[in-house]
Amino acid sequence: MPDRRRVVFLLLAWALVPLYAAPAAFFPILVLSGCLLNAAKTVEFHFIDVEEGSATLIVAPSGESLLVDTGARGPNGRNVDRIIAAARSAGLRQIDYLLITHYQDDHYGAAPELVERLPVLHFLDHGPSVEAGRDTQWKEHWQIGTNDRLYAAYSTARAKGKHTVVKPGDRIPIQGLDVLVLTAAGDKIPAALAGAGSPNPFCGSAGLRTEDGTEDGQSVGILVTFGKFRFVHLGDLTWNRSLGFFCPDNPVGTVDVYLSTHHGMSIAKETSEVRWGRSCCPEAEVHGLRPRVAILNCGENYHRLGTPRAWQVIRNSPGLEDFWQMHYQAQGGKDNNVAEQFIANLSARDCAGHPIRLSAEPNGGFSVTNTRNGLTRRYRPR
């Protein structure tokens, strides 16, 4: 029996033959047929549920992949299982680039196990850890041991591939995408991007806080551009670092999609001063970027030490059309959670780890899907 694809091709070619000799009026039909044969490709984003952490898989139209962070170690390989499931759903057999935004367990603890189970070709990070010699700051659940031990395990894992220390202004060479490093190792891009750089009207809404000496403030932040579509991911960039980047002028401009910085965490003022300084999401950042859609990458209880302030800043951002959440926030209550249809995981108990998926087109249009209930919202180009 002949190959099915060959049969379909021959039948289609036979059907189109008369059009080549037809009047010019038929030309649009021929063009349409060509479009059907060469449908516009998209860039795919998989926001993977690693509970209290972050992992985002980006797949370019070329098929090349960028995984930003891996989530924490354990329990029982759950986070790696979910990353591999996302990779398989995207048809991947390897990760081309693994970008570690910073060295804290909830962002890179699962990297060594991932490398054992799925090939990673190229490792990207900001260089040496500033937390060397310090005990792990968050001793929750399976997060035990020291930062030195975590960093040593990661260093051993990345030795199995190519390693690059990225700096602001660098571009990650993924075919079909423009992936620009905005921040890294406490530094930022030296000049505003084309079309950006206007005074930021939201810089006067909040002042500086205590300085942050943790890895959070060293986060690698990136801007992913695909035609007219723009997506920003700033890792766990903390309050003062953010204000230093977005004030007095906004060097980035506006974006279509914003992944909540530092899990949308606002540390309560009555807690330690160091943690207060590690809060995120000042208006200068969120409102300055003016996203059309925001995604909260946060576990159910990640805000247990804080307040809903960052959530409210994101929700009230000018021009925001929709706000999606990886998890329902137990401390937020009805007033500080979006409608259930926009939440991928309603409870950490027996959680299936539903991801949120996004598909973007070069004209700037995109769609977001909640895989828990199948809800898809389409967003037209600006």
Compute the C-alpha angle 52/298/185, nearest 5°: 80
CB within 8 Å of 95: residues ≥ 6 apart: 65, 66, 67, 87, 114, 118, 119, 120, 121
Which of 45-54, 146-155, 218-227 has the largest mean confidence? 218-227
Tokens representing 340 are 């259930």
Q: Are 126 and 221 in contact (CB under 8 A)?
A: no
Average pLDDT, the chain: 85
Same domain, 149 and 281: yes
Same domain, 174 and 317: yes
Same domain, 58 and 116: yes
Same domain, 102 and 148: yes
Query: Over the range 71-82, which residues count as b (16 or more CB within 10 Å of their CB) and which as e?
Result: bbbbeeebbbeb
Same domain, 19 and 141: no
Domains of the chain: total: 2
pLDDT at residue 19 tops 50: no
Average pLDDT, integer, range 63-89: 94
| Of 115, 220, 103, the residue nearest 162 (C-alpha) | 115
Helix intervals (H) in 270-308: 273-277, 283-289
Q: What is the pLDDT of residue 308?
A: 83
Q: What is the pLDDT of residue 146?
A: 57
Same domain, 112 and 34: no
The label of the residue with tokens 């399976």 reads 142
Phi and psi at 290, nearest 5°, equal 50, 60
Same domain, 51 and 34: no
Contacts by residues 301-305 (CB-CB < 8 Å, ≥ 24 positions apart):
301/52, 301/330, 301/331, 301/348, 302/52, 302/263, 302/265, 302/327, 302/329, 303/263, 303/264, 303/265, 303/266, 303/329, 303/331, 303/332, 304/330, 304/331, 305/267, 305/268, 305/271, 305/275
- The CATH number covering residue 169 comes to 3.60.15.10
Cα–Cα separations (whole angstroms), residue 137 to 145, 193, 260, 344: 10, 35, 21, 28
Mean pLDDT lowest among 27-31, 322-326, 336-340, 363-367: 27-31
Q: What is the pLDDT of residue 210?
A: 83
3-class DSSP state of 259:
strand
For the CA atoms of 310, 311, 312, 318, the dihedral, rounded to the nearest 10 degrees, stands at 90
Q: Read off the pLDDT of residues 177-189 as tens digits, 9 standing for 90 and up.
A: 999 999 999 999 9
Average pLDDT, integer, range 45-67: 95
Same domain, 23 and 68: no
Same domain, 11 and 151: no
pLDDT higher at 329 or 268? 329
What whole-number percentage of the chain has pLDDT above 70? 80
Q: Which helix (H) or strand (E) holds 243?
A: helix 239-246
Tokens representing 194 are 């084309």
Pairing between β-strand 356-360 and β-strand 187-188 as defined by DSSP bridges: unpaired
| Of 32, 110, 23, the residue nearest 69 (C-alpha) | 110
Q: What is the pLDDT of residue 273?
A: 45
Average pLDDT, integer, range 17-34: 33
Average pLDDT, integer, range 79-83: 96
In the chain, the amino acid numbered 374 is G
Tokens representing 251 are 């060097």
pLDDT higher at 172 or 141? 172
Same domain, 2 and 34: yes
Q: Read off the pLDDT of residues 291-315 as tens digits, 9 standing for 90 and up.
A: 999 999 887 765 555 568 889 999 9
Mean pLDDT lowest among 212-216, 218-222, 258-262: 212-216
State the pTM of this model: 0.86
Same domain, 35 and 158: no
Q: How far apart are CA 311 and CA 293, in angstroms?
A: 13
Q: What is the pLDDT of residue 268?
A: 55
Same domain, 10 and 144: no
Domain of 93? 42-379
Q: What is the pLDDT of residue 219?
A: 97
Tokens representing 254 are 């506006």
